[in-house]
Homo-oligomer: A and B are copies of this chain.
Amino acid sequence: LSASAATSLRGRPRERRVDDALRQATRELLAEVGYAALSVEGVAARAGVGKAAVYRRFRSKAELVFASAVHGPDLPPPRDTGTLRGDLAVLAEGILGSLTTPVSAEAVPGLLADLAKQPEIARRFQATFIQHEQVRVETILERARSRGELRESPDPALVHALLLGPLFAWLFLLRRPPARDLGERLADLAARALGPVGPPPPRTGPRTAKKR
């Protein structure tokens, strides 16, 4: 998740100070004015840095913001709470937390829009953010299966969407303030939805009688 371009060994080395100042300035400006109103010129000025120093590190504004605002795979591995529901709750709270920092809150929608047109950034976003969470989902599902809570592991992507999606929708589509226990409630619903998969143990007739 560090900067980007191939760092040659020859010539004057990059200054760490510049990297830090850029990250800092980007985060500040994101929180202050939001993604759309954030300009590379503004970031460079705030960081006391030339524009070239920015573009030497990031190919575009989207990359700059992405690298500065999105946390990397620095989360601890998912804690084992003993139940699927508990594991999912921990994960959901983590996702919720990373979506509600002042920085993320401003950056996410704009970043998403840029992703739509910059496949390269989109790929990195997948690899850094999405993929990493999905691995955690897989781990959790695996555990649940070995506990006997699940008969067969569902598609991890679907489960991921089942947690991430409603959180995102709540915050950015419905634009509701995040309730304290939102993550837990969604984890609860998700666990319930995944519950015993397939036709309730052998013998249970056609899926028709869903009634009650």
- Residues of A in contact with B (beta carbons under 8 Å apart): 34-37, 83-85, 106, 109-110, 112-117, 122, 126, 130, 147-149, 157-158, 160-162, 164-170, 172-176, 181, 184-186, 188-202, 204-212
A188 to B199: give the CA distance in the assembly, Å.
13
Instruction: Note all chain B residues with C-beta closer than 8 A to A210.
Output: 83-85, 149, 188, 191-192, 197-198, 205-207, 210
Q: A126-B174, A185-B211, A188-B211 are in contact. List 8 more A-B contacts (CB 8 A).
A: A34-B116, A148-B204, A165-B166, A185-B212, A191-B207, A205-B208, A206-B208, A211-B212
Q: Are B192 and A211 in contact (CB under 8 A)?
A: no
Q: Are A173 and B112 in contact (CB under 8 A)?
A: yes
Q: Are A204 and B195 in contact (CB under 8 A)?
A: yes
A191 to B207: give the CA distance in the assembly, Å.
9
Q: Are B200 and A189 in contact (CB under 8 A)?
A: no
Interface of A is mostly: helix
* Nearest CB of B to A121, in Å: 12
A208 to B190: give the CA distance in the assembly, Å.
15
A173 to B117: give the CA distance in the assembly, Å.
13
A206 to B174: give the CA distance in the assembly, Å.
33
A157 to B132: give the CA distance in the assembly, Å.
29
Instruction: Note all chain B residues with C-beta closer than 8 A to A160.
Output: 169, 174
* Nearest CB of B to A186, in Å: 8
* Nearest CB of B to A6, in Å: 19
Which residue of B169, B198, B212 is within 8 Å of A168 (Cβ)? B169
Lowest 5 CB-CB distances: which A-B pairs, in order? Answer: A165-B165, A165-B169, A205-B208, A165-B166, A193-B193
